[in-house]
Chain A
Amino acid sequence: MGDTDSCLEKSPKRGGCKFHTCSSLSSATQSSAEAFRKASESQKPKISVFRTSESNPVKHTLAHSGLYYKVESEEYNRYMKAGQHEKLHKMGIAFNEHCVMVREPALEIFECIRATDLSLPAIRYIIYGQLGAGKSVTLAHVMSFCGRLGWFVVHVPWFERFMKYPKEVQVSSHNKDRVDTPVECAEWLNYFKEMNAHLIPEVKLQHTYVWNRRESTEAGASLSELLEYGASRSKYAADVMGAVLKELRVQSSKGILKTLVALDGVNALWLPSKISRIDNRNLKYKPDELTVVHNLKKMLTNDWSGGAIMSIVDTRCSPVDQKESYMPRYLLTKEAIDMLEPHIPIHIQNYSDKEAQSCLEYFIDRKWIMKQEGLTMEGQREILFLSSQNPLEMYNVCSRW
């Protein structure tokens, strides 16, 4: 990394773009000087540009498109630890650093968020794309961007834990028709607390929440008190989660704070859960009967303002027989589409030629491509063909080179 970076930093303003290689020199030089230059260039390793030293997502522009930026470990642990593909973590360990590529869909979302009038109802974005195309990484990039802008981030990376295999199920104390998954809710509260640790202390509650005859959280108490209560009294964790989300909605609408809702695999919210009913083991709970789903669907309605709603539709969440297409209209039920209209669709495609080249160079730099054949033109063409320039598949294919 060192060489490339220092080269870029030393020559920041050449020809309007600082990412060009220094190959274009004046042609009107003496022949001997030309020969000397050629000789010295051939000895120097080829400078390839696949990185940017700009690690602040807020400053990412189209000029950075297709380049990797290094994610600081603190930021990585905050926004990317959960909800990413297992391979991304393995890659981080193997490469001894965490790098994310700046890609155009993310930049498009940045532009949209910047241009949004926050007094109007929150805009919904639906991110979709092929398996391994980089939907979750793009979401993490957006979360990182909003985090830098001082937004609250409500990230739900794993619906499976709520809807498929919860550790405990109990009837909600707030509404007898619904059930809670307290352990997972308490876990999520902790996750939320860690992610927004730097913003939570300043927030005061605007409503009073009565949990039972003796216990209640008064208006004016801090948000961290509410979160602590939820963590210690896991019986009410699901309701505390609802209260936190409500506070965020209300306060965002008033302009006190800003909220980014980031739901990964949102199509799961309309799919039947795998939790057997307490009264009849043969039947499963409908999604709306879960408190978590009920609360999160409220976040998806755009009756609040002062934020943005990102949601990913993913074939991973859908049943085995419904994985033919990754398009939102296929993966979402009619009810879901009616609820999510209007929205901005964001299609995450496989790598473009430029991005794929950048990725190959990064892998060569990190010694992920080690064989001599992988460095040749033919070998790289093979990698690109076999992977269809899909980010995840490129990692898999290159692991054999």
Chain B
Amino acid sequence: MVVILHGLGCRYMATSVISSGRPEDDASTTKAEQISKAMKAYLERARAHESFMEKEIHDYEIGKRHLAKIMGADPDNFTQEDIDQAIQYLLPSNLFDRKSRPLMKHPTKIIPQKIVAQFGADGRPFDPLFYTGFPRYYAQIHDLGMVFENLKKIETEMMVKKMQPEKELDLGGSHWINKQSVETMLAEELSPGQYNQLINLLDRIAEHPYAYKFHDVIFKFRTELAAQTSRLEIPELKVSEAGRLYQEATGGRKTAVAKVTVWDNGTGKVDINGKNLLDYFPYILDREQIMFPLQFTKKLGLVDFEAVITGGGHSSQAGALRLALANALRSFVERGMVEKMRLAGLLTRDPRMRERKKYGQEGARRKYT
């Protein structure tokens, strides 16, 4: 990028030289020479970067061997995992942001890569978009633009044939990749505006009735949503002394905390702090909240549960118990249902808390007047 600016600057300088009407001897350097100067600067920089990377990699390898020696391990078989462990042991850090903690990784993984531009013998770049500053980005935009043009063509053809699209493009369960992913894909740093431009274009393509014909192109820019729960570990069911399956879990909402034990093969018995459901939760709204996870997993009347709830009011206690029940019921159902539960909001803690009182005011929002 710096190279490009430099080149442009030179060109402008050249024009300005002509317009200012300076003597021709001063502007003896020709256009080709200007470019080759830029070339030279670029190549120098590229070389510098290369040697810098070489040095970094060399340092990394040496450092790795030293570290292995300190840890008393075999330097030839010292893996990245061992390095991470060693760093964590030698330089323990409690900093909140994990990115701020000390690390030692291969330089290619830390230092951003630079694309090597291809130049001809005359010093002109092969890529026609080189001087845009973002050749890969604009190439991508062009490709997508062509996709959109093709779609319009297909639509017209189909209208002439009086045919309808065969199916719809299903975008459920996925979303557009974020700016960082686009940047790593293109190996170029983008501005937020450029990212938005790309996403807007993709949106227009995805909304098109014949978008399904370019499924692969579109899905190159999308990531699956479902990956979340597959990463979560679901505890196995426990077995009591009497040989009955059960699961324990906790949940919370506001200041209420609920601990629940759900028993398999039950008849729907409920015990909350030693009382039955109606006795503990006289409001039907609260009981409906508690019923939801059981009803959603179709376990109503098939499991028993005991709960101990502390803190909070009746509504937040019901919310806490709902979360605890949902957490415990994960062990009783299959994976697909767990994902459905997550999408239904059963496994997410309600983050809302009581808003503080402000001085000079009667409460959080209310004024004295």
**Given contacts A378-B300, A397-B284, A384 and B279 within 8 Å (CB-CB):** no
**Given contacts A130-B278, A350-B276, A386 and B301 within 8 Å (CB-CB):** no
Give every chain A residue within 8 A of B287 (Cβ-Cβ). Answer: 385-386
In the complex, the answer to whether B278 meets A393 with C-beta atoms within 8 Å is yes
Give B276 Cβ to nearest chain A Cβ, in Å.
Answer: 5
- Roughly how many angstroms separate A162 CA and B284 CA in the complex, as a whole number? 34
Q: Is B102 an interface residue (CB 8 A)?
A: no
**Given contacts A130-B279, A350-B276, A381-B301, A386 and B291 within 8 Å (CB-CB):** yes
In the complex, the answer to whether B300 meets A388 with C-beta atoms within 8 Å is no
In the complex, the answer to whether A385 meets B268 with C-beta atoms within 8 Å is yes
**Given contacts A350-B276, A381-B300, A386 and B268 within 8 Å (CB-CB):** no
In the complex, the answer to whether A381 meets B268 with C-beta atoms within 8 Å is yes
In the complex, the answer to whether B270 meets A382 with C-beta atoms within 8 Å is no
- Roughly how many angstroms separate A350 CA and B269 CA in the complex, as a whole number? 12
**Given contacts A353-B267, A397-B284, A385 and B276 within 8 Å (CB-CB):** no
In the complex, the answer to whether B288 meets A386 with C-beta atoms within 8 Å is yes
Contact string against A for B residues 293-313, beta-carbon threshold 8 Å, 1 for contact and 0 otherwise? 011001011000000000000
**Given contacts A353-B267, A388-B270, A397-B284, A382 and B276 within 8 Å (CB-CB):** no
Question: In the complex, what residue of chain B is closest to A393 when comparing beta carbons?
Answer: B278
Interface residues of B in 116-148 (CB under 8 A from A): none
- Roughly how many angstroms separate A385 CA and B279 CA in the complex, as a whole number? 13
- Roughly how many angstroms separate A326 CA and B89 CA in the complex, as a whole number? 60
Question: In the complex, what residue of chain B is closest to A378 when comparing beta carbons?
Answer: B300
Q: Is B277 an interface residue (CB 8 A)?
A: yes
Give A397 Cβ to nearest chain B Cβ, in Å.
Answer: 7
Q: Is A259 an interface residue (CB 8 A)?
A: no
**Given contacts A353-B267, A397-B284, A384 and B301 within 8 Å (CB-CB):** yes
In the complex, the answer to whether B267 meets A385 with C-beta atoms within 8 Å is no
Give every chain B residue within 8 A of A381 (Cβ-Cβ). Answer: 268, 300-301
**Given contacts A378-B300, A381-B300, A388 and B277 within 8 Å (CB-CB):** yes
By size class, the interface of chain A is 10 to 19
Q: Is A387 an interface residue (CB 8 A)?
A: yes
Q: Is A252 an interface residue (CB 8 A)?
A: no
Give every chain A residue within 8 A of B267 (Cβ-Cβ). Answer: 353
Give B140 Cβ to nearest chain A Cβ, in Å.
Answer: 51
Give B97 Cβ to nearest chain A Cβ, in Å.
Answer: 46
Q: Is A144 an interface residue (CB 8 A)?
A: no
Most buried by A among B278, B287, B295, B301: B278
Q: Is A52 an interface residue (CB 8 A)?
A: no
Interface residues of A in 277-322 (CB under 8 A from B): none
In the complex, the answer to whether A388 meets B301 with C-beta atoms within 8 Å is no
Give every chain B residue within 8 A of A130 (Cβ-Cβ). Answer: 276, 278-279
The prevalent SS among residues of A at the interface is helix
User: Of A378, A382, A387, which one neighbours B278 at CB under 8 angstroms?
Assistant: A387
In the complex, the answer to whether B284 meets A382 with C-beta atoms within 8 Å is no
Give every chain A residue within 8 A of B278 (Cβ-Cβ). Answer: 130, 350, 387-388, 390, 393
Contact string against A for B residues 251-292, beta-carbon threshold 8 Å, 1 for contact and 0 otherwise? 000000000000000011010000011110000100110010
Give every chain B residue within 8 A of A350 (Cβ-Cβ). Answer: 276, 278
Give every chain A residue within 8 A of B288 (Cβ-Cβ). Answer: 386
In the complex, the answer to whether A385 meets B294 with C-beta atoms within 8 Å is yes
In the complex, the answer to whether B301 meets A385 with C-beta atoms within 8 Å is yes
Give B107 Cβ to nearest chain A Cβ, in Å.
Answer: 61
Give every chain A residue within 8 A of B294 (Cβ-Cβ). Answer: 385
Give B15 Cβ to nearest chain A Cβ, in Å.
Answer: 80
- Roughly how many angstroms separate A385 CA and B281 CA in the complex, as a whole number? 12
In the complex, the answer to whether B295 meets A388 with C-beta atoms within 8 Å is no
Give A392 Cβ to nearest chain B Cβ, in Å.
Answer: 9
Give every chain B residue within 8 A of A353 (Cβ-Cβ). Answer: 267
In the complex, the answer to whether A385 meets B300 with C-beta atoms within 8 Å is yes
- Roughly how many angstroms separate A353 CA and B301 CA in the complex, as a whole number? 11
Contact string against B for A residues 364-401, beta-carbon threshold 8 Å, 1 for contact and 0 otherwise? 00000000000000100110111110100100110000
Question: In the complex, what residue of chain A is closest to B299 when comparing beta carbons?
Answer: A381
Give every chain A residue within 8 A of B295 (Cβ-Cβ). Answer: 378, 382
Give every chain B residue within 8 A of A378 (Cβ-Cβ). Answer: 295, 298, 300
- Roughly how many angstroms separate A130 CA and B300 CA in the complex, as a whole number? 23
- Roughly how many angstroms separate A272 CA and B91 CA in the complex, as a whole number? 72
Question: In the complex, what residue of chain A is closest to B301 when comparing beta carbons?
Answer: A381
Question: In the complex, what residue of chain B is closest to A326 when comparing beta carbons?
Answer: B279
User: Of A384, A386, A388, A397, which one neighbours B276 at CB under 8 angstroms?
Assistant: A388
Give every chain B residue within 8 A of A393 (Cβ-Cβ). Answer: 278
- Roughly how many angstroms separate A296 CA and B288 CA in the complex, as a whole number? 44
Residues of chain B having any CB pair with chain A under 8 Å: 267-268, 270, 276-279, 284, 287-288, 291, 294-295, 298, 300-301
| Pairs across A and B, CB under 8 Å, 30 listed | A130-B278, A130-B279, A350-B278, A353-B267, A378-B295, A378-B298, A378-B300, A381-B268, A381-B300, A382-B291, A382-B295, A384-B268, A385-B268, A385-B270, A385-B277, A385-B287, A385-B294, A385-B300, A385-B301, A386-B284, A386-B287, A388-B270, A388-B276, A388-B277, A388-B278, A388-B279, A390-B278, A393-B278, A396-B284, A397-B284
**What 8 pairs across the A-B complex have the smallest Cβ distances?**
A388-B278, A381-B301, A381-B300, A388-B277, A388-B276, A390-B278, A386-B287, A385-B291
Instruction: Apart from A130-B278, A385-B287, A388-B278, list 16 A-B contacts with CB within 8 A.
Output: A378-B298, A381-B300, A382-B291, A382-B295, A382-B300, A384-B301, A385-B268, A385-B277, A385-B300, A386-B287, A386-B291, A387-B278, A388-B270, A388-B276, A388-B279, A396-B284
